[in-house]
């Protein structure tokens, strides 16, 4: 790997979003049925990190005021081992500063009968797809460390030359020229984006960005759907001619409107803006080490557009079809590239203390489906331990009080919500998650 490595516009955006009060860390949790050996967990992490250079990097400012990745002298992540935490899903976490430490921390939570391996990773380093590749590597490394892996079991080969190209997303000069007409459709969406003023899920005064998050960070709620419930949701999507993700978008909007009605703050003209990340990897990128190769689209809906559930779903499906047909995932990338060349650069677009996004819904689909390790009822087995659950947690920003992350493991949809405990009470967070779960279950019946 040749250092230093310039940041892509997406990495610059996610670095700019990061602040002590709203850490742009993502959390990935692997829950095992047995207690894992602490030294082996650590050894497996250290064995895998050299395969993923961005996880062993720091960011520093350039002479001209930009940012670049540099190779870290200390490539050992902060490792913490804690007993089971009563009354909360995740142990308290601290702000991760990419200018001072590499972008990964490891937390092992164990009792006599189970272990949670939690990876806290700065979002500028990788996205959900990148994390799945890292987790797959770590599982293989752990199996090798405890001596249960076949002698010929090895990691998937990675191509070091792909990482410097991660910001290209398959774009060539000729392809960009061919996209111009279709991108004009995206300009209409940009006009709508600028004209609409999104509102928070519930009104509140945001904590100052430089004030550290309280001891409840990350505050998390989650729900696992059964295999039958998951299959019911998939069948419902096929019957309706939509994707599962389009169903989830509709159901999340309905859950938000219900929460607002129950708290007397619902206004039919208030706009809720959902940010939906999109994977932008190209054929051949499967051998890229962990990185963040995504864009985002934005779904804006006001309350009156959600009164008819069927019409709401159809409008979401139609909008998503236009986005896919015209490759409008690139519209956000192009807008960031334009902004990066203007005074204030990308940081100037996100640092203001106002509501820019109402919520995030990120869905990585089926995870850990392939791989060389044995299975028990579709669950990965490592020695005498079974990987029972896998989920992840998306970050927050000012006035974005709840984000939703979806993954399907072992035939079960899992939805994880991180919420700002300064803006939502436990009861309100529970109600929002229950609204969403009820809507998804009703759809899948």
- Quick one: pLDDT at residue 306? 87
DSSP letter for each residue of 374-426: -EETTEEEETTEEEEEEEEE---BTTB-EEEEEEEETTEEEEEEEE-TTTS-H
More confident residue, 187 or 158: 158
Question: Which residue has tokens 């061919």?
Answer: 178
Q: What is the pLDDT of residues 20-57, one digit of tens each?
A: 989 999 999 999 999 999 999 999 999 999 999 999 99
**428 and 436 in contact (C-beta within 8 Å)?**
no
Handedness of CA 303, 308, 314, 315 (dihedral sign): negative
Q: Are residues 148 and 176 in the same domain?
A: no
Distance CA 178, CA 190 (A): 20
Q: Is 389 part of a structural domain of the chain? A: no
Q: Judge whether residue 344 has pLDDT over 80.
A: no
Domain containing 90: what range?
5-161
Q: Are residues 152 and 205 in the same domain?
A: no
Q: Are residues 82 and 112 in the same domain?
A: yes
**78 and 102 in contact (C-beta within 8 Å)?**
no
Those residues whose C-beta lies under 8 Å from the C-beta of residue 2, and which sit 6 or more positions away, are 164
Last residue of a domain, one of 102, 131, 161: 161
- In the chain, the number of structural domains is 2
Q: Report the predicted TM-score, pTM, of the whole model to 2 decimal places.
A: 0.95
According to DSSP, the residues that pair with 109 across neighbouring strands are 82, 116
Give the three-state DSSP class for 248. helix
- Count Cβ atoms below 10 Å from residue 76 Cβ, excluding itself: 13
Q: Are residues 155 and 178 in the same domain?
A: no
More confident residue, 226 or 172: 226
Q: Are residues 153 and 236 in the same domain?
A: no
Give the three-state DSSP class for 307. coil
- Quick one: pLDDT at residue 392? 96
Q: Is 233 part of a structural domain of the chain? A: yes
Q: Quote the mean pLDDT of the chain.
A: 92
Helix residue ranges per DSSP H, 326-383: 329-340, 347-350
Q: Is 374 part of a structural domain of the chain? A: no
- Quick one: pLDDT at residue 343? 67
Distance CA 227, CA 31 (A): 18
Distance CA 90, CA 419 (A): 13
β-strands 219-224, 412-419 pairing: antiparallel
Q: Are residues 155 and 209 in the same domain?
A: no
Last residue of a domain, one of 161, 187, 208: 161
Q: What is the CATH number of the domain that holds 43?
A: 3.30.559.10
Q: Are residues 219 and 276 in the same domain?
A: yes
The share of the chain scoring above pLDDT 70, in percent, equals 99
Give the three-state DSSP class for 119. strand
Candidates 374, 183, 406; CA nearest to 274 is 406
Candidates 395, 376, 356; CA nearest to 219 is 395
DSSP 227: H
Q: What is the pLDDT of residues 232-270, one digit of tens each?
A: 999 999 999 999 999 999 999 999 999 999 999 999 999
Question: Which residue has tokens 């902004």?
Answer: 339
Q: What is the pLDDT of residues 275-328, one digit of tens each?
A: 999 999 998 899 999 999 999 999 999 999 988 999 999 999 999 999 998 989
Last residue of a domain, one of 136, 161, 186: 161
Q: Is 32 part of a structural domain of the chain? A: yes
Q: Is 384 part of a structural domain of the chain? A: no
- Quick one: pLDDT at residue 64? 75
Q: Are residues 106 and 139 in the same domain?
A: yes
Q: What is the CATH number of the domain that holds 278?
A: 3.30.559.30
Q: Are residues 55 and 129 in the same domain?
A: yes
Q: Are residues 193 and 136 in the same domain?
A: no
Q: Are residues 207 and 68 in the same domain?
A: no
Q: Are residues 70 and 145 in the same domain?
A: yes
Q: Judge whether residue 383 has pLDDT over 70.
A: yes
Predicted confidence band of residue 84 (pLDDT cuts 50, 70, 90): confident
Give the three-state DSSP class for 131. helix
Predicted confidence band of residue 183 (pLDDT cuts 50, 70, 90): confident
- Quick one: pLDDT at residue 352? 67
φ/ψ region of 8 (left if φ > 0, alpha if ψ in -120 to 50, else beta) reads beta
């Amino acid at each position: 790997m040749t250092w230093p490595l310039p940041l892509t516009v997406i990495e610059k955006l996610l670095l700019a979003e990061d602040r002590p009060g709203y850490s742009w860390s993502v959390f990935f949790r692997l829950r095992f049925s047995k207690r894992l050996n602490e030294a082996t967990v650590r050894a497996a992490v250290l064995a895998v990190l050299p395969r993923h250079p961005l996880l062993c990097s720091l960011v520093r400012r350039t002479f001209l005021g930009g940012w670049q990745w540099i190779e870290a002298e200390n490539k050992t992540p902060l490792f913490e081992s804690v007993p089971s935490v009563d009354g909360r899903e995740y142990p308290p976490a601290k702000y991760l500063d990419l200018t001072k430490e590499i972008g990964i921390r490891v937390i092992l939570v164990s009792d006599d009968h189970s272990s949670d391996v939690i990876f806290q990773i700065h979002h500028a380093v990788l996205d959900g797809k990148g994390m799945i590749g890292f987790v797959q590597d770590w599982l293989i490394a752990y199996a090798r460390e405890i001596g249960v892996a076949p002698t010929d079991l090895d990691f998937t080969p990675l191509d070091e030359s792909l990482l410097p190209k991660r910001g290209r997303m398959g774009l060539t000069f000729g392809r960009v020229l061919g996209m111009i007409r279709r991108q004009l459709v995206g300009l209409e969406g940009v006009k709508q984006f600028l004209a609409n003023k999104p509102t928070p899920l519930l009104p509140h005064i945001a904590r100052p960005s430089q004030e550290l998050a309280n001891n409840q960070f990350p505050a998390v709620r989650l729900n696992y759907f059964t295999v039958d419930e998951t299959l019911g949701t998939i069948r419902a999507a096929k019957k309706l001619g939509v994707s599962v993700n389009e169903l989830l978008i509709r159901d999340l909007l309905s859950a938000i409107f219900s929460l607002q009605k129950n708290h007397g703050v619902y206004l039919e003209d208030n706009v809720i803006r959902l940010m939906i990340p999109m994977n932008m990897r190209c054929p051949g990128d499967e051998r890229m080490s962990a990185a963040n190769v995504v864009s985002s689209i934005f779904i804006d809906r006001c309350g009156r557009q959600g009164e008819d559930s069927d019409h709401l779903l159809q409008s979401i499906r139609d909008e998503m079809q236009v986005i896919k047909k015209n490759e409008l995932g690139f519209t956000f990338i192009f807008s960031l590239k334009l902004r990066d060349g203007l005074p204030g650069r990308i940081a100037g677009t996100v640092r203001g203390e106002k509501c820019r996004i109402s919520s995030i819904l990120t869905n990585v689909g089926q995870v850990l489906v392939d791989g060389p390790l044995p299975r028990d009822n579709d669950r990965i087995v490592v020695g005498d331990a079974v990987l029972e659950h896998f989920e992840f947690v998306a970050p927050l920003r000012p006035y974005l009080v709840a984000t939703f992350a979806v993954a399907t493991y072992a035939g079960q949809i899992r939805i994880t919500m991180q919420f700002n405990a300064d803006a939502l009470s436990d009861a309100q967070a529970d109600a929002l998650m229950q609204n969403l779960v009820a809507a998804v279950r009703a759809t899948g019946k």
